[in-house]
Amino acid sequence: MSITQPDLTRINTFVFDVDGVLTDGSLYVFADGEKVRAFNIKDGFAIKHAIRQGYNVAIISAKNEPGVRVRLEELEIEHIFLGAEDKVEELENYLYMQGVHPATVAYMGDDMPDMEAMQRCGLRACPADAADDIREICTFISTKDGGKGAVRELIEKIMKVQDTW
């Protein structure tokens, strides 16, 4: 499924889930209890590039792991909401505090905890391997799986339409 150009031209904010979007959903647990995820370098490049071009980027994730925060801060993301019990509330607070209209937001999620928040945004996006219920509500379905370049594909497509890539 593709997005029509008018939807892309007004996007100025990206909101992403972590597990299944910025990662492939795999979770490695070491004997000491440390949990590790793998992030895609190309997704990271696209996020930093978008931020440097003036786009807003926020992360809303139910999980709260120190290693995830370290990676997100390396990407220069200022608005990181980890341990979010209510993603809709976090999204609405973020949009209000930043003065962002929901119609200008592209939200990429992959599973049911993202659904309600995604439905409040102008562009609903998901990785190719997202849950079926999420795929059904999305305006944009990446050709890439979560953690395998889906974020890069979305950001690059929007920025190219806006001549900011």
Residue 99: the pLDDT is: 97
Residue 158: the pLDDT is: 97
Residue ranges of the chain whose pLDDT lies below 50:
1-6
| pTM of the predicted model as reported, rounded to 2 decimal places | 0.94
State the Cα–Cα distance between residues 80 and 32, nearest whole angstrom.
26
State the Cα–Cα distance between residues 115 and 157, nearest whole angstrom.
22
Domains and CATH numbers, the chain: 5-161 (3.40.50.1000)
Answer yes or no: are the C-beta atoms of 56 and 98 closer than 8 Å.
Answer: yes
Residue 5: the pLDDT is: 40
State the Cα–Cα distance between residues 161 and 165, nearest whole angstrom.
8
